[in-house]
Amino acid sequence: MAGDLKRANLPPLSLHVPEPKFRPGDKADYSDLVIPAAGEAQRPDVSAKPDSFHGLAYSLVRVLDDEGRAVGPWDPKLSPERLRAMLRAMALTRAFDERMFRAQRQGKTSFYMKCTGEEAIAVAAAFALDRDDMCFPSYRQQGLLIARDWDLVDMMNQIYSNKGDRLQGRQLPIMYSTKEGSFFSISGNLTTQYPQAVGWAMASAAKGDTRIAATWCGEGSTAEGDFHSACTFASVYRAPVIMNVVNNQWAISSFSGFAGAEATTFAARAIGYGIAGLRVDGNDPLAVYAATEWAAERARTNQGPTLIEHFTYRAEGHSTSDDPSQYRSANEGSDWPLGDPIARLKQHLILLGEWDEERHAAMDLELAERVKASAKEAEKNGILGHGMHQPFETMFEGVFEEMPWHLREQLEQAVNEKKVAGL
């Protein structure tokens, strides 16, 4: 195999397999990570052609500086009320995650996924979008629902797959779906929502509607064919859609290098498709808001899609099913140079004289109590337990609009099994 005499004077080929810089036991060191200063990135006119700002795909849109000041052309100049509402939604998302993660550890459900450190990406986007803009999320954008004031008990019912679950116990916990909340049914298969969001946006455009679509996927799943199909369709038909890539550095245990991050940025994927591309500090709620607002205006004025890479860090494990200390450095999260989105917005509000530590502590307490009360309420409908909360018939309903004979027969069998089992 290696004895090709024809090229004996050439060194053998070697295969490059990416390896993250730090593994367990290593001290993560971010000194060679280039972080552009806040306020530095230019803000193109909404009508600018995508090829006139390629630099933004390699830079980082940042608004909040290290002291908590909002600087530069991307400052969305939000009112203190709006900033406090955003802070509150992020804090509530974190409190919700804490409680539900613990509920899984207490055996109340099978699975949970936190978005710790990534709250700004969903919450700030929800604030920048209209309430009826259609969201096609991945599994870590619970902040969208929370920012849209969705009922926590309703979300928890889904997590517990209990009698109150609007999805009748059919979906894995956190795979929410609500048409009323303009929140598309989450799939466990990665990035399938991307072409769907583009299709929804195309339909909206074809119908002369004014609503736009937004979708999210992780950096790891940009490798899926669906991502590229979606980018092609979005570009070809100038679909009114915002495509968000949440680059939280890790896809379960695979670092972003396995999706191509060693070679380029994820925002740069936009360039080849002729789509507007932005790379944004995902831990900066004002930057996420500003980028989403800009992209939404582009979409709503028929100027086409935008791909936004949110540069962030997954502060916790992928889900309740993995232990990140087994594959990454212990201080990687705590030393993340872009900080924590909640702490940064809090600092900003305090600097403005619109917030203080006492109010923040009181808010955290109030939100924890609210989440706790919601959990108690949801648990009245049952926890997952043995799972037998829904009538057996519901398992066969909704496969088709009308139940065909073969499912009716299988339903009879299931009901009979229930009798035999004495349930």
Partner 1 sequence: MIEAQTVTDGRGDTKRMNMIQAINSAMDVMMARDTNVIVMGEDVGYFGGVFRATAGLQAKYGKTRVFDTPITECGIIGVAVGMGAYGLRPVPEIQFADYIYPALDQLVSEAARLRYRSAGEFTAPITVRSPFGGGIFGGQTHSQSPEGIFTHVSGLKTVIPSTPYDAKGLLIAAIEDNDPTIFFEPKRIYNGPFDGHYDRPTSNWSNHPGGEVPEGYYRIPLGKANVVREGEAVTILCYGTMVHVVASIVAEMRVDAEIVDLRTLVPLDIETIEASVKKTGRCLIVHEATRTSGFGAELSALVQERCFYHLEAPIERVTGFDTPYPHSLEWAYFPGPVRIGEALKKIMKD
Q: Where on the chain is the footprint of partner 1 (CB under 8 A)? A: 134, 136, 166-168, 170-171, 175, 177-179, 184-185, 187, 189, 192, 194-204, 206-207, 213, 225-226, 228-230, 232-233, 236, 398-401, 404-406
Q: Which is nearer to partner 1, 109 or 178 (CB)?
A: 178
Integer Cα distance of 379 and 162 in angstroms: 8
Dihedral sign for Cα 294, 350, 148, 216, please. Answer: positive
Structure tokens at 161: 């797959």
CB of 309 to partner 1, least distance (A): 21
Of 240, 142, 238, 136, give the one whose Cα is nearest residue 190.
136
Q: Which is nearer to partner 1, 285 or 305 (CB)?
A: 305
Of 379, 355, 419, 11, give the one whose Cα is nearest residue 165.
379
Integer Cα distance of 116 and 58 in angstroms: 25
Q: Which is nearer to partner 1, 233 or 294 (CB)?
A: 233
CB of 239 to partner 1, least distance (A): 9
Residues 38-55 as b/e (b if ≥16 CB within 10 A, e otherwise) read bbebebbebeeebeebee
Question: What is the side-by-side order of every strand in the sheet holding 276-281?
Answer: 134-136, 213-218, 241-247, 306-311, 276-281
CB of 207 to partner 1, least distance (A): 8
Structure tokens at 99: 């409680």
Q: Which is nearer to partner 1, 209 or 369 (CB)?
A: 209
Beta bridge partners of 251: 254
Residue 155 neighbours by CB distance under 10 Å: 22
The percent of the chain in helix, strand and coil, each rounded to the nearest 5, is 40, 10, 50
| DSSP structure class, residue 11 | P
CB of 107 to partner 1, least distance (A): 25
Classify residue 107 as exposed, middle or buried by CB count within 10 Å of its CB (0-12, 13-18, 19+).
exposed
94: three-class secondary structure by DSSP: helix
Q: Which is nearer to partner 1, 219 or 226 (CB)?
A: 226
Residue where the block lists tokens 């060679």: 32
- Specify the pairing of strand 250-251 against strand 254-255: antiparallel
CB of 203 to partner 1, least distance (A): 4
Q: Which is nearer to partner 1, 179 or 386 (CB)?
A: 179
CB of 363 to partner 1, least distance (A): 33
Q: Which is nearer to partner 1, 182 or 249 (CB)?
A: 182
Asked if 312 and 261 count as a contact pair (C-beta separation under 8 A), the reply is: no
CB of 315 to partner 1, least distance (A): 29
CB of 187 to partner 1, least distance (A): 6
Beta bridge partners of 178: 183
Q: Which is nearer to partner 1, 209 or 335 (CB)?
A: 209
CB of 182 to partner 1, least distance (A): 11
Q: Which is nearer to partner 1, 123 or 134 (CB)?
A: 134
